[in-house]
Structure 1
Amino acid sequence: MYSSICMPMSSPSQSLLKPNQNHLLGSAPSSKPWSQSRRRAPLTTRAILSTSRELALKGFHERRALKIISGLQNFDRENVSSVITAADKGGATHVDIACDPELVRLAIALTSLPVCVSSVDPAAFVAAVEAGALMVEIGNYDSFYETGVVFSPDQILKLTRETRRILPFVPLSVTVPHTLSLPDQVKLAELLEQDGADIIQTEGGKCSNPSASGVLGLIEKATPTLASAYSISRAVKIPVMCSSGLSAVTAPMAITAGAAGVGVGSAINKLNDVVAMIAEVKNIADSLKLPSRRDVWKERSLNL
């Protein structure tokens, strides 16, 4: 059984600024399907749109994305700053923060990594994209589960369609709840792909109760999200991000299971020291054999 949530679906016309103020926003929102709206992007903005999308999705297409998550309801600037710094210095490919324009501006000041924002309110994404976010995420539901709130497939599909209507060009990631059975997760993922999602994110760490400590416990904790990644990646053509309950031990297992990237949150954002955060991000990046920051900058310099 799923509890229902009530949240305002404010009209995008109330929150959008003038058309084309931000190229990722495109022109004024259209009620036409996502595929039609996308095809009608103005010629003068297509190159910018293509470059922005490529930057945001590059790590996923190369099957080596590492997204560090600060938390959907984490608005603590000091903690978020530490998480962003750890992602940047530790070798991550993306950073995921709460959907807040001020936090986006903070992130852009601290890192050149693509910034993703998470929310369950599609209208809130617009201001964050205007501030510079390159990707949006419907998900990272863990903080809601703590209050007994869960999301049904119908609710998630509605949020996805509304987000895609408002932001037809912005890369969109959607989390499939672990509260669904595996067959239902797969079915929802297939529908999300049809509705224009660019990435499917899995979860499961909150429902896992390891019986052992050490390496065995880490593997047990990751089992639900690994199972989801394995099942969903074989049912959809878009990239799958395995998230929740992962560590340096289990991140490579996610890629082997079929994921195009991993998302890590509490293993980083719960640490109290930025040096420890950087070390943990680096451990995970090394386990995925990601290039070091020095190698990344060297590659960028050669491409200029």
Structure 2
Amino acid sequence: MYMIRRILIGCVCLLCSVAWETVQAKKTVLSAEIYGYRAEMVYFDCFQTPLLRQEFHTNPGEEHIYSFDTERMVTFAINGKTTVLLMPGDSLHVNLRYEGKQVQAVEFSGTAEAVAQNRLLRDIAQLKRTMRYKSQLLACIAVDVKPKERFEASRVLSEQSRKLLEKAGKEIRPEVSSYILADIEGSVYNSFMEYPVMYAETRRLPIEKQEIGDYWSVMDGYSLRTDKNALQSLDYIGMLMRYMFFVNEKKAHESGTTYTRPTSFEEGYRAYAAFYTGDVRDVVLYTIICNFIRNGKNLDRIDDVVKEYKKKYNRNKEYVHIIETLLQ
């Protein structure tokens, strides 16, 4: 009897050990060592959710470790400058070296797939720096980048990024490939739709004289991405928001009428709810609701919108959890 009890206890302990290892395996880990950084705090900020973030006191050579649970792909900004991507269960260590305020070197170690995907992100970021491809369109306006030049640079960026992705090959998981392509397309197609208009308004050069061809055909043949990995990209979500305006403006142009963009949060919410469907509608509505809450003004206006969103349009329950947390 004593031996049977020992065997049973051993089996229970083994099962508990396996269960614990399974739980542990689900943890996603981001760590970093940072040298030459002069600010007091080190920040890990997740782009997809404000609920995943961590901060540490700066201590050169110390390993800053953040272990967390996630069921989806996430991207983080380290100190607002270096972007890293992790899939559930990934372990990534980042070695960062600064010179002044600029990052001079980034090296990765960790699980093989995590290292490969972040090296690819680093290579694309380096490509942008080499091309002097600005992420903010207002920065292009400030230095008078011509729309024709921005269009050409955007096409080159798209082409060269795809080549880097092809070169990485099977090292990059399909989910990550979808995200990276969406992220690039978000920047490129937003430039196509938005920059000529901005340039015309600020530099007083009509779109017809910008040497970009037919502005209204810039999105012809493009199919929107609807998979959940593509919809993790903030640049792509931003492009989706601009795309609704573009489509309606194009229809108005063709009919000889004028399209007026929504002028209030509620009008924008209703317009996006009517224009999009499924997961795309869900992420766009979630984004504008979160932006309104973070603005911190007139939050009494949000209650009815959130109730309707939860009842009619929400598909990703994590979005509801984030909204409710922000409202607390």
What TM-score, normalized to structure 2?
0.31
Larger CA Rg, structure 1 vs 2: 2
Q: Which has the higher helix share?
A: 2
What TM-score, normalized to structure 1?
0.32
Q: Which has the higher strand share?
A: 2
